């Protein structure tokens, strides 16, 4: 079973490259963030024509938005509001999977970016980001047993490890890698505890990125990346992890997202 996450930065603009990735990686389920479209203008037909008949979306005009595109029937569909706002950042589905004792739950998250200044006293966006993570830290253990099959994935907008960024020292005061963000995301991970599926395959002392800024004219030459996209699994799924793919070449697509797709495969 292949499950993919990707911040697409406008699903209507970039539907063609999503189809290209579907054809290349053949995921069973895609979890998309930053769709930037209300539900009524989501391009359902484009994906249904290519075998993704089961779709769960929650979007808004111009900002945020999350979607799940699946070949497999969705047993349940949920929308969750976080930190006192209804800004389309968390949806969940359940899927019946042969080999698992209960349905697999998948949580598609788009954690707020947090603005530019890592100071809650002057930056409400940063305060909202920290509140969002704190709420998930308490919510997940109350809702999901660590013995159940569950996945949390998406654009977390935090690069927690030293080698998740191109320069640990230079980014310590840059939003996405500040000590308080790293501390809170680590607490969220340990609260379940979640298994970092990407780092299950890629050692922590090895550089690993999923995002490169549009500001870098030659992203590949400068390689100033960050690992902002994550896939976490509950412990019972850890023995089933088969592979992890980071489709770095997607950053070179025509009109690319600044994020690239990340996919795990479970041996079921």
pLDDT of residue 216: 87
As a whole number of angstroms, the distance between CA 190 and CA 6 comes to: 24
Pairing assessment for the beta strands 76-79 and 90-95 based on DSSP bridges: antiparallel
Structure tokens at 166: 């191109």
Asked if the model's pLDDT at residue 99 lies above 90, the reply is: no
Q: What is the pLDDT of residues 199-248, one digit of tens each?
A: 999 999 999 999 999 998 899 999 999 999 999 999 999 999 999 999 99
Strands (E), 38-174: 54-58, 66-70, 76-79, 90-95, 104-110, 150-155
* Cα 141 from Cα 134, distance rounded (Å): 12
Q: How far is CA 10 from the centre of its chain?
A: 15
Query: What are 45-60's pLDDT values in tens digits?
Result: 999 999 999 999 999 9
Banded model confidence at residue 88, pLDDT cuts 50, 70, 90: very high
CATH class assigned to 2-266: alpha beta
Neighbours of 119 (CB within 10 A): 12
């Amino acid at each position: 079973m292949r499950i993919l996450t990707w911040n697409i930065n406008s699903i209507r603009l970039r539907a063609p490259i999503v189809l290209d990735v579907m054809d290349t990686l053949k995921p069973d389920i895609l979890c998309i963030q930053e769709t930037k479209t209300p539900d009524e203008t989501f391009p359902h037909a484009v994906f249904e024509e290519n075998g993704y008949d089961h779709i769960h979306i929650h979007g808004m005009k111009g900002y945020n938005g999350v979607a799940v595109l699946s070949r497999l029937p969705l047993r349940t569909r949920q929308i969750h509001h976080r930190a006192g706002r209804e800004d389309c950042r968390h949806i969940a589905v359940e899927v019946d999977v042969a080999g698992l004792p209960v349905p697999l739950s998948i949580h598609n998250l788009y954690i707020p970016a947090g603005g530019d200044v890592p100071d809650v006293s002057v930056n409400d966006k940063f305060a909202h980001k920290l509140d969002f993570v704190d709420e998930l830290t308490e919510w997940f253990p109350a809702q999901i047993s660590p013995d159940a099959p569950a996945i949390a994935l998406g654009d977390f907008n935090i690069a927690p490890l030293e080698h998740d960024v191109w320069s640990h020292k230079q980014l310590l005061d840059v939003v996405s890698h500040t000590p308080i963000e790293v501390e809170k995301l680590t607490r969220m991970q340990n609260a379940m505890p979640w298994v970092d599926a990407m780092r299950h395959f890629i050692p922590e002392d090895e550089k690993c990125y999923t995002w490169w800024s549009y500001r870098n004219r030659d992203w590949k030459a400068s390689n100033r990346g960050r690992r902002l996209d994550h896939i976490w699994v509950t412990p019972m799924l850890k023995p089933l992890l088969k592979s992890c793919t980071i489709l770095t070449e997607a950053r070179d697509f025509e009109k690319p997202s600044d994020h690239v797709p990340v996919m795990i495969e479970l041996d079921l």
